[in-house]
Amino acid sequence: MIAKPKVAIAWLGSCGGCDEAVVDLNEALLQVTDAADVIFWPIALDYKYHHIEALRDGEIALSIVNGHVRNSEQEEVAKLIRKKSQLVLAFGACACFGGTPGLANLRTKEDILNWVYRDAPTVINPKGCYPQTRSQVNGKELTLPEFYERVYALNQVIDVDYYLPGCPPPPDLIASALKAVLEDKLPPRGSTLAPQKALCDTCKRNATKPARIAIKDIKRIHEVDANPDVCFLEQGILCLGPAIRGGCGEACININIPCRGCFGPVEGVEDSGAKFLSALAAILDVEDDGEMRELIERIDDPAGYLYRFSLPVSILGSKRIQES
C-alpha cells in the first residue's frame, strides 16, 4: 500500500477561527482525509509535540499553520514544524500578516502586562503578581513561555512556502489550495493562493463608482444608513477595497460592511495601508491643508483602521521599532 502524504495543521497565537474554517469544509474534509494522513491537529485531535519531534526532517508533506507568533512556545512550534515539513502554508491573516493581534504592536510589552495584571478595572491582584517564565511552587519549578516584545507574522520567524489570507480564509480557497497540493499543481513558492486582483475589481459596487470620486466628508459606517448598492467610497465611507487582494467573496461588502483588509495587500504591493492612503489622498475634495487636516481627523484610530490585519508586516511595523 502506498503511504499517504502526511499533513499537519498547527495553531500558534490563534483564536481558533482558522481551524473552524477547515472544519467548515464539511464533506470536502473527508476527501482530504482520504488522500492524506492528518498527523497533527491539536485543536481537533489529541496529538502532542513529541509526535512531531519523532518524525524525520521533511517527513510532513504539508503543514498548514495559523496564528501569529508572540511567545517562545509559538516560535518553538513554528520552527519544529518548519524542520519537519516539505511545505509550510501560512493560513489566515494572523499567520500571513500578524492579523488583528498585531495591533498590539502599537503598545509596548510593558504597557500590555501592566494593563492586564495591574490597571484594568476588573483586575484583583493585591500581591502585584506578574507572570514569570520560571517560578518555584512547593519545591517544583513551573515554566511559562516568554512573552515577546512584539507580534510577528509567520514569515518573520520561519520560511513560508505559500500564503492563504483571510480572517479566516474562505472554504472555496481552502479547498482549491488543498487540491493544488494533493495534485501537485502548486504555483511558484512564495505565491499567495488567492486571486491577484484587488477587491474593487470583483466588487459588484464597482460599477457605481463615478469617473472621479470626490469625498467632502468621511463618515463611519455606524453613523449612516449606507446604500447597499453604491460603492462605499462614493458614500464617503472608507473601504479598503482598492488596496486589498480580492478572493474573500466580498463577505463583508455583501452584508453592507466596508472592506477592512483581512486579505492583505493586493499583489505587488508591500504595504496596504500606505497604498490606501495614496488612493484616499487622490479622492479627498479639499481646498487647503486646513480642510485636509480636518477631514483626516475624522478617521478615528487611523493606524487601527488602515492596518487592522497587517501592522507587523507594514512599513510602520510597530510603535517600538519606530521609536528606537
Residues that bind ligand SF4 (CB under 6 A): 14-15, 17-18, 66-67, 92-94, 99-100, 167-168, 199-200, 203, 205-206, 231-233, 239, 241-242, 253, 258-259
Q: Which is nearer to ligand SF4, 81 or 203 (CB)?
A: 203
Residue nearest to ligand SF4 (CB): 241
* Least distance to ligand SF4, CB of residue 85, Å: 19
Instruction: Report the Cα 193 to chain-centroid distance in Å.
Output: 14
* Least distance to ligand SF4, CB of residue 293, Å: 23
* Least distance to ligand SF4, CB of residue 269, Å: 15
Q: Which is nearer to ligand SF4, 103 or 158 (CB)?
A: 103
Return the residue matching grid coordinates 494572523: 94
* Least distance to ligand SF4, CB of residue 212, Å: 14
In this structure, are residues 104 and 81 in contact, taking their beta carbons and an 8 Å threshold? no
* Least distance to ligand SF4, CB of residue 153, Å: 11
In this structure, are residues 88 and 146 in contact, taking their beta carbons and an 8 Å threshold? no
Cis status, amide bond into 195, omega within 30 of 0: no
* Least distance to ligand SF4, CB of residue 139, Å: 38
Measured distance CA(194)–CA(271) in Å, rounded: 17
Q: Which is nearer to ligand SF4, 5 or 158 (CB)?
A: 158
Measured distance CA(139)–CA(181) in Å, rounded: 50
* Distance linking the first and last C-alpha atoms of the chain: 58
* Least distance to ligand SF4, CB of residue 184, Å: 27
Number of C-beta neighbours around residue 188 at 10 A: 7
Q: Which is nearer to ligand SF4, 35 or 221 (CB)?
A: 221
Measured distance CA(218)–CA(258) in Å, rounded: 13
Q: Which is nearer to ligand SF4, 168 or 317 (CB)?
A: 168
Q: Which is nearer to ligand SF4, 39 or 154 (CB)?
A: 154
Among 73, 91, 106, which residue's Cα sits nearest to residue 320? Answer: 106
Among 19, 45, 105, 39, which residue's Cα sits nearest to residue 69? Answer: 105
* Least distance to ligand SF4, CB of residue 3, Å: 30
Q: Which is nearer to ligand SF4, 52 or 164 (CB)?
A: 164
Q: Which is nearer to ligand SF4, 242 or 265 (CB)?
A: 242
In this structure, are residues 309 and 97 in contact, taking their beta carbons and an 8 Å threshold? yes
Tell me the angle at which helices 27-35 and 171-182 cross, rounded to the nearest 10 degrees: 20
Among 190, 120, 126, 118, which residue's Cα sits nearest to residue 159? Answer: 190
Q: Which is nearer to ligand SF4, 94 or 218 (CB)?
A: 94
Among 150, 149, 146, 148, which residue's Cα sits nearest to residue 132? Answer: 146
**In one letter, which amino acid is 88?**
V
φ, ψ for residue 256, nearest 5 deg: 65, 40
* Least distance to ligand SF4, CB of residue 101, Å: 7
